[in-house]
Amino acid sequence: MFRPRVIPVILIGDSEHAVKSIKFNKKKDLGDPINAVSIFNSFEVDELVLLDINATKEKRKISLNLLEDIAVEAEMPFSVGGGITSLDDIRMILSTGAEKVVIGSAALANPNFVKEASEKFGSSTIMVCLDIKKDIFGREYAYINSGKTPTKFSATEASSLMEKMGAGEIILQSINHDGVMKGFNLKLLRSIADNVSVPTIALGGARDLDDMLEAYSSTNISAIACGSSFVYQDEERGVLINYPSKDELRLFKDLR
């Protein structure tokens, strides 16, 4: 049966709690991430992405103990990012039960690391998350260090480089759209998904199912990833973990 890739993203913040941000700021505490994983189990979610948003800033790795607890609870494959800077980091994260790793800041700070990782563990294990933000002239560049530090790479250059280095998938995260719940950055998604041959995953901005369907139908992205729309019941941001029904997921089938 056709199953679109519609992926909840759980951000890990202070005290190993799940959080949600707006434009990488204004973080709201959502409590124990394992509870969120349990609820996503009940929705029969096919995959999850977990990202520790403080790990790089604090120069540490995502908690392996937390990942081991999540692996016990999770009934679906999950990918993990947070402070990954070495092959040993990847090995340890995979040893907890994660299926894939998500490399963020280190991918552009040291592109050869992505090449080494894909050669060691296989490109299907290596995802790269590109955090993209507009500059004052409206040009979109890749940023590192939780969106604080601009790189020299445009969004297109960064995605092409990551493909060249062997990334198996690229998550395109629009910082300007993060948590705003007013729709994806469709222009960005089109420009990158048309430019690389590896699967691209849209992240940042979805308000509801209609936004997901629009992004899937009007771009060549391979998957939809969402944070806010799967943890809030509406734009008032009352917490309610949710996920599209099977009937709603079937709507994606006829879009391509």
Catalytic sites, residue numbers: 131
Which residues, at least 6 apart from 166, have a Cβ–Cβ distance to it below 8 Å?
Answer: 114, 115, 117, 118, 119, 123, 126
Two tokens, residue 137: 């002239």
With tokens 């190993």, the residue in question is 16
d(CA 117, CA 34): 28
Q: How many CA atoms within 13 Å lie on the side-chain side of 184?
A: 29
d(CA 209, CA 201): 16
d(CA 144, CA 203): 16
Two tokens, residue 13: 């913040």
Cα–Cα separations (whole angstroms), residue 213 to 161, 171, 208, 219, 225: 28, 18, 9, 10, 12
